[in-house]
């Protein structure tokens, strides 16, 4: 297991691999290093002794999205977000769907932005009653990525997916369950027991059967997911280099409401 100061903790015992976002002081927001660490941990899962994966976050949140703390106007202008999405985010999402092993998202607290995308890319979501879900990209002037434009409408329908993405509205765990996003909602005190029991059950199942079930469910939609990820990668660039994104990040850091639609010369 990685030391407890690592940004991503990975452990493997009895066929159950646990991947934990480990920045609780930042609500497990994802920085550049963590994108790479997660991509590599998922790639390794294809050949290691794991039989089931648990994806979760340390402390009081699952994942509060991408870390915006280091963003600056000059950094934004130079950053190739399309390359980043293609090389770091999309491969991890594809790896999650193509992995011949079930992935359980153990969700507590904030599950927003790219964190929500990672949960959607999992096979089963078990949430605590305190979990909160949001397609929060719009709040900082971005479009969703991480496959959310593919996964969410297939779960909730076009109209509801558009509403959630266009408003950035928060969903409670119960609302997410009612919409079919979440498989189970349990009290926080029972979350680990439920997740561990489910992981043990899946780890004990015949792996060829499980892998073929997952492959069969994914087979007819694989090309559509790849196309959605590429569309997100290209479209996100327009959003990322817009004045609205700079305003969104600035407002986020200043803890104020953003004012979108400003002229780029202002």
DSSP per position, 112-157 = ETHHHHHHHHSSEEEEETT-EEE-GGGGGT----TTHHHHHHHHH-
Look at residue 145 and tell me if it is in a domain: yes
pLDDT of residue 224: 87
Residue 266 included in any domain: no
- How many Cβ atoms are within 10 Å of 179's Cβ, its own excluded? 17
- Using 70 as the pLDDT threshold, list the residues of the chain that sit under it: 1-4, 70-74, 220, 263-266
Euclidean distance between CA atoms 87 and 8, whole angstroms:
19
Question: What pLDDT does residue 74 have?
Answer: 65
Q: In this predicted structure, what is the pLDDT of residue 86?
A: 93
Q: Interior CA angle at 28 toward 229 and 258, to 5°?
A: 75
Let me know if residue 201 belongs to a domain.
no
| pLDDT score of 253 | 85
Q: Is residue 165 part of a domain?
A: yes
Residue 214 lies in a domain: yes
Which domain does 43 fall in, by range? 8-189+207-254
H/E run at residue 106: strand 103-107
pLDDT tens, 27-52? 999 999 999 999 999 999 999 999 99
Q: How many domains does the structure of the chain reveal?
A: 1
Q: Kindly state whether residue 41 falls inside one of the protein's structural domains.
A: yes
Domain assignment of residue 198, yes or no: no
What is the reported pLDDT for 145? Answer: 95
The per-residue pLDDT for 266 is 45
- Residue 68 has what pLDDT? 79
Q: In residues, how long is the chain?
A: 266
Please name the helix (run of DSSP H) or strand (run of DSSP E) that holds residue 200, with its range, or none.
helix 188-203
State the CATH number of the domain containing residue 102. Answer: 3.90.226.10
**Does some domain include residue 2?**
no
Maximum CA extent, the chain = 61
- In the sheet that holds 103-107, the strands lie side by side as 8-13, 16-21, 52-57, 103-107, 124-128, 184-186
pLDDT at residue number 262: 72
**pLDDT of 67-107, one tens digit each?**
977 666 667 778 888 999 999 999 999 999 999 999 999 99
What integer pLDDT is reported at residue 79 of this predicted model?
A: 84
């Amino acid at each position: 297991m990685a030391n407890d100061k690592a940004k991503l903790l990975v452990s493997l015992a009895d066929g159950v691999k646990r991947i934990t976002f480990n920045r609780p002081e930042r609500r497990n927001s994802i920085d550049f290093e963590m994108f790479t660490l997660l991509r590599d941990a998922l790639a390794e899962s294809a050949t290691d002794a794991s039989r089931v994966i648990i994806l979760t976050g340390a402390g009081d949140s699952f994942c509060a999205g991408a870390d915006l703390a280091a963003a600056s106007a000059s950094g934004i202008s130079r950053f190739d977000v399309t390359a980043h999405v293609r090389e770091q985010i999309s491969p991890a999402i594809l790896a999650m769907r193509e992995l011949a092993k079930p992935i359980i998202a153990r969700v507590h607290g904030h599950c927003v932005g790219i964190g929500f995308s990672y949960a959607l890319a999992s096979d089963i979501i078990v949430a605590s009653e305190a979990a909160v879900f949001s397609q929060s990209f719009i709040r900082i002037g971005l479009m969703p990525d991480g496959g959310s434009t593919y996964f969410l409408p297939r779960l909730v329908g076009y109209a509801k997916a558009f509403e959630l993405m266009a408003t950035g509205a928060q969903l409670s765990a119960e609302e997410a369950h009612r919409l079919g996003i979440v498989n189970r909602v349990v009290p926080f005190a029972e979350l680990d027991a439920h997740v561990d029991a489910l992981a043990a059950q899946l780890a004990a199942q015949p792996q060829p059967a499980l892998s073929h079930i997952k492959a069969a469910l994914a087979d007819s939609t694989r090309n559509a997911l790849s196309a959605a990820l590429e569309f997100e990668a290209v479209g996100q660039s327009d959003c990322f280099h817009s004045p609205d994104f700079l305003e969104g990040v600035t407002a986020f850091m200043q803890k104020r409401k953003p004012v979108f639609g400003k002229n780029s010369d202002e």
